[in-house]
Amino acid sequence: MRAELPPLPVREILPALAETLARSPSVVLSAPPGAGKTTLVPLFLLDQPWLNGGKIILLEPRRLAARAAAGRMAALLGEKVGEKVGYRMRLDNRISAKTRIEVVTEGVFTRMILDDPELSGVAAVLFDEFHERSLDADFGLALALDVQSALRDDLKIIVMSATLDVERVAGLLGDAPVLQSEGRSYPIDIRYESRDAGERVEDAVVRTITEAHRSEEGSILAFLPGQAEITRTAERLAGRFDQNTIVVPLYGNLSQKEQDAAIRPPPRGSRKIVLATSIAETSITIDGVRIIVDSGLQRLPVFEASTGITRLETVRVSRASADQRAGRAGRTEPGVAIRLWHAGQTAALAAFTPPQILASDLSGLLLDLAHWGVADPSSLNFIDPPPETTLREARSLLVDLGALDVHGSLTPRGRVIRDMALPVRLAAMTVSAADEGQAHEACLVAVMLTEQGLGGNSLDIEDRLRRFRSERSDRAEAARGLARRMAADLAQSKPTGQSAPPGPLLMHAFPDRIALQRGGRGRFVMANGRGAEVPETERLAAAAMLVIADLTGRAGAQRVLAATEITRSDVEAHMPEAIVTEEQCFFDRPSRQVRARRVTRLGAIIFDEAPLPRPRGEPAARALADGIRQLGLAVVPFPKDVDQLRDRIGFLHRSIGEPWPDMSDAALISRLDEWFVPFQGEAGGIDGIKGRDLAEGLMSLMPYDLQRDLAKLAPTHFEAPTGQRHPIHYDGDEPLLSIRVQELFGLRAHPAIGDGRLPLLLELISPGKRPIQTTRDLPGFWAGSWKDVRADMRGRYPKHPWPEDPANAMPTTRAKPRGT
């Protein structure tokens, strides 16, 4: 059956699309919201000769969008979903032998291509709403391009979006042709209503919705950053409108039925107010909506490689997202978009939402790359290459979990972990649990943790698991079925017949987040050395130990979102190799002394400790160096002569460069193991550091021949014509000699160092030790401004000589004899 394509704007460019694909393997298609690209392009391609019986894969960023797109296309064909048009996603699959168009979520496509690199039976892959730049979409496109260039030159790739950095994407696709549909949206009246700085976002949205509902016709779609704000907004709107106005939420944590209800047209004669996250920006149409209320905020995941934590951060939307949101108002009739910010702020918004690949945990990506046979991600065509720092942290985690070997190759355990189609940590947990006969329990926990809302939102994982087991929703049933299939795939598992608590299982996923209460109720230190807090009102706040599966916040202020209680005996029984007993030499910060102890520990968690005699030698010196790293170089008691030595060497480094070593604080801190540790074996604390050892250590940073040149190039003192020695100061931009002017009488050449090549900066001082002149040209000073200085100083210091011709006078350190 051929679809009767509705008269949507994208129809105008379909002939050009057919012509372009006949001669080019890739195309970039840009079309505004409502143009019909998601629905019409796949249906149109069904009749292309190059399809040759192959399937069309349409990637959508979200499950809701995938189901909606499949439903619309099936309706146009007069069929049910699962016939010619179907969809495939986690926990839900509606395809059959007749399916020619598969709508899949982006993660599912990545799994498809990794498991079947030739994409057997697939003729075209369409990346819809690519501007959202999810990690899976970027990776999926990189893999598809690799397949197209190496194995399938007949594979068609189409990248589609409403707001897209067209030039960059086309360049990635080998300068692919670009087609643009101008679209045909109705006029949109964009209005700005600034939100006061102290006004909560939900209060501003409620105020705006109430006014728009009173003054405008049609349904309202309001964009809020997250579920919490949506819930509070719904509570505030309750009872404000009559029964003909329905208020419904729309966010990813809702069930499929609840999401479908949100986008369903309201009953005739009714209005709908939909409170949505960014999930409603693209790919779905909510019939009857002609009013948009945009908070201007969105919640994005941000991964911090240093902590291994992904936190959600509320940020301003991009201009592209703001345009997408406003475009929802003009899909079927003239509309209104109300933005809750000042009009002038729009220009300051980022052009596009940052790509996920720059702020995501890349352990799963790295594992998939190893499976693909790629050790270096730069060998694939990523539009934005993954950051090396995040890759390094991911590589370290995968080695710790036994998924990669030290060379970055996939291990047998790593292959099983990758096959689990779970986040890396949870997959590793299921593999370890299978060895203990607890595969099903572990898979149940893993599926629950990866599906938001299953078992409720309790912080206590054990409580959530109990609820999840008894939940009777379709989603819960599907999730439990998925867990059973996953467990069955772990063939080596021999069920014990007993249910395991989640704590011992999760230790294998988050060994670095095993936590011990320290510092009072709700305060914990994790095995990775970082702190975490549980609200004091939670039952788990009183636990002696936890394993933490999810937390948020920046380093130093991390809040637990999901955890379960464990005991030390759990760790000893299930991870005995992680507990070590050793002698430690450490820096005690309060006393600034080096101490020693025998400890039994799990990472940074100390279970038991006993003091040992105070250490000496290299271990003590290394502990002392650690203390200096903590406190800074300012705590090191450099004597004056060693300070000057450091300044002299530092001056030569700044003026000559290598091999004269850098003497800055940062440079010396970074090289403590070279100049400090080998020379401080006798020091037991900061106050035991000896100046002579510091000097010897600093000198060791220079080759021996430079040590001999130091006195010549940067002498410690200048010998005045009087025979007196005066220190030269090297702590400024140039060497400085501060000296009484009378001591330089008779000197016709300017004092210099470095074999006379570098003039000293002279600070000439009065008998009262006050500066009277600074000069780099002493003969010029004698011949020039000395006359004015002499006239001024004679009156102030009449007992001291002020000759008219100082260049030919006798130098002195004394006042004039009495009577002269």
**Which stretch, 31-35, 181-185, 790-794, has highest mean pLDDT?**
790-794
pLDDT value, residue 29: 93
The correct CATH number of 9-180 out of 3.40.50.1820, 3.40.50.300, 1.10.3720.10, 3.40.50.200 is: 3.40.50.300
What the block records as the tokens of 475 is 């989603």
Query: In which band, very low, low, confident or very high, does the pLDDT at 100 lie, cut at 50, 70 and 90?
Result: very high
Percent of the chain, pLDDT > 70? 96
The span from the CA of 430 to the CA of 408, in Å, is 22
What would the pLDDT profile of 635-658 be if each residue is shown by its tens digit?
A: 999 999 999 999 999 998 988 888
pLDDT value, residue 1: 47
Query: Which has more pLDDT, 98 or 1?
Result: 98
Is 594 exposed, middle or buried (CB count within 10 Å of its CB: 0-12, 13-18, 19+)? buried
pLDDT at 284 over 90: no
What is the distance of C-alpha 96 from the center of its chain?
A: 41
pLDDT at 191 over 90: yes
- Within the chain, what is the greatest distance between any pair of CA atoms? 126
Nearest CA to 520 among 530, 510, 531, 506? 531
Instruction: Report helix, strand or coil for 516.
Output: strand
Alpha helices in 161-221 (DSSP H): 166-172, 201-215
Query: In which band, very low, low, confident or very high, does the pLDDT at 231 lie, cut at 50, 70 and 90?
Result: very high
The span from the CA of 100 to the CA of 85, in Å, is 6
Is 91 exposed, middle or buried (CB count within 10 Å of its CB: 0-12, 13-18, 19+)? middle
What the block records as the tokens of 679 is 């020379």
Other C-beta atoms closer than 10 Å to the C-beta of 169 total 21
Query: In which band, very low, low, confident or very high, does the pLDDT at 184 lie, cut at 50, 70 and 90?
Result: low
The span from the CA of 345 to the CA of 334, in Å, is 25
The span from the CA of 199 to the CA of 176, in Å, is 47
What would the pLDDT profile of 544-603 be if each residue is shown by its tens digit?
A: 999 999 988 766 668 899 999 999 999 999 999 999 999 989 999 999 999 999 999 999
pLDDT at 280 over 80: no
Strand pairing category for 523-526 and 514-517 = antiparallel
**Residue 702 CA: distances (Å) to CA of 449, 552, 633, 674, 692:** 57, 47, 20, 11, 16
> Is the pTM for the entire model greater than 0.75?
no
Other C-beta atoms closer than 10 Å to the C-beta of 406 total 7
Other C-beta atoms closer than 10 Å to the C-beta of 665 total 12
What would the pLDDT profile of 535-548 be if each residue is shown by its tens digit?
A: 999 999 999 999 99
pLDDT value, residue 791: 86
Query: Which has more pLDDT, 730 or 816?
Result: 730
What the block records as the tokens of 189 is 């009246």
Domains 9-180 and 188-355 share a fold: yes
- What is the per-residue DSSP string for 354-372? PPGGGSS--HHHHHHHHHH
In the chain, what are the domain boundaries? Answer: 9-180, 188-355, 361-419, 506-575, 629-713, 717-808
Task: Average the pLDDT over 774-783 and give the result.
Answer: 91
Other C-beta atoms closer than 10 Å to the C-beta of 654 total 15
What is the distance of C-alpha 584 from the center of its chain?
A: 33
Which of 32-36, 80-84, 276-280, 412-416 is the least confident region? 32-36
Residue 28's DSSP bridge partners are 159, 178
What CATH code would you report for 188-355?
Answer: 3.40.50.300
Q: What is the mean pLDDT of the chain?
A: 89
Nearest CA to 587 among 599, 579, 596? 596
Asked whether the beta carbons of 320 and 276 are under 8 A apart, the reply is: no
pLDDT value, residue 491: 61
Place of tokens 């709908």: 272
pLDDT at 773 over 60: yes
What would the pLDDT profile of 519-537 be if each residue is shown by its tens digit?
A: 889 999 999 888 999 999 9
Does 659 sit behind a cis peptide bond, omega within 30 degrees of 0 on the bond before it?
A: yes
pLDDT at 289 over 80: yes
pLDDT value, residue 814: 83
Which of 63-67, 694-698, 741-745 is the least confident region? 63-67
Which of 252-256, 446-450, 497-501 is the least confident region? 497-501
pLDDT at 306 over 80: no
pLDDT at 752 over 50: yes
pLDDT at 820 over 60: no
